[in-house]
Amino acid sequence: MKRILYLVMAALMSMVVIAPSVAAQGENVQQVQERLQQAQVKVQEAQQYMQTPEGQAALEEARANLEEALQAAREGAQDRVQAARERAQDKVQEAQQYMQSPEGQAALEEARASLEEAGQQLQKAREGVQEKMQEVTSEMERTALVKSGGAALSNPGLLLPAAALLVGGGILGYAVLRRR
């Protein structure tokens, strides 16, 4: 009996909660249908207007306005492209004139001299790296580990990373000197 009473109470409560929302949805559906009918009527009116001479004239006028706007946009874009091309040509001519001027030639010679100096410094750095590698290698060969079972320092597993670090340091030094 209690179960039946609970089921009846649950059914009544659901009716109280669900019924108003269903009724509201029914009203919303009617409003949506009315709006849809109004929209369809307006579409039919627009179609009828487009079939009239006034509608056709309005359509032709809109097409002509659109074509004029597109033509004006094309001409404006061509003018901007032409102006940009002329500015670029002017800049190229200025650069060529500068390179032919005494100041440009002096700057070019200065850049060449700096490049040669950097090359010489790189060569010195390479020689220094090679000497350092030889010193490290000879020291590693002389040094032995304690008799604890460790690998000797002359092991290729230790020499190769050290050589790689030294070569990398030389390359980095060259890059730094070249940037100056």
List pLDDT tens digits, range 35-89.
Answer: 888 888 887 877 787 788 887 888 788 888 888 888 888 888 888 888 888 988 9
CA distance 47 to 60: 15
Residue 23 lies in a domain: no
Q: 144 pLDDT exceeds 60? A: no
For residues 136 and 26, the model is more confident at 136
For residue 161, tell me if it sits in a domain.
Answer: yes
Average pLDDT over residues 23-45: 77
As a whole number of angstroms, the longest Cα–Cα distance in the chain is: 113
- Output the average pLDDT for the chain: 79
With respect to residue 31, please indicate whether it lies within any of the assigned structural domains.
no
Alpha-carbon span 101 to 95, nearest angstrom: 10
Residue 174 included in any domain: yes
54 CB-side CA count, 13 A: 4
Supply the range of the domain harboring residue 147.
Answer: 114-180
Q: Say what the pLDDT of residue 23 is.
A: 60
Identify the CA nearest to 50 among candidates 62, 66, 37, 65: 62
DSSP assignment of 141-153: HH----TTTPPPT
Q: Tally the domains of the chain.
A: 1
Quick check: 152 pLDDT over 70? no
Residue 95 is assigned to a structural domain of this protein: no
In a domain, 54, yes or no: no
pLDDT greater at residue 173 or residue 6: 173
Q: Considering the domain boundaries, does residue 146 fall inside one?
A: yes
Domain contains 130: yes
Q: How far apart are CA 53 and CA 56, in angstroms?
A: 5
| 3-state SS assignment for residue 26 | helix
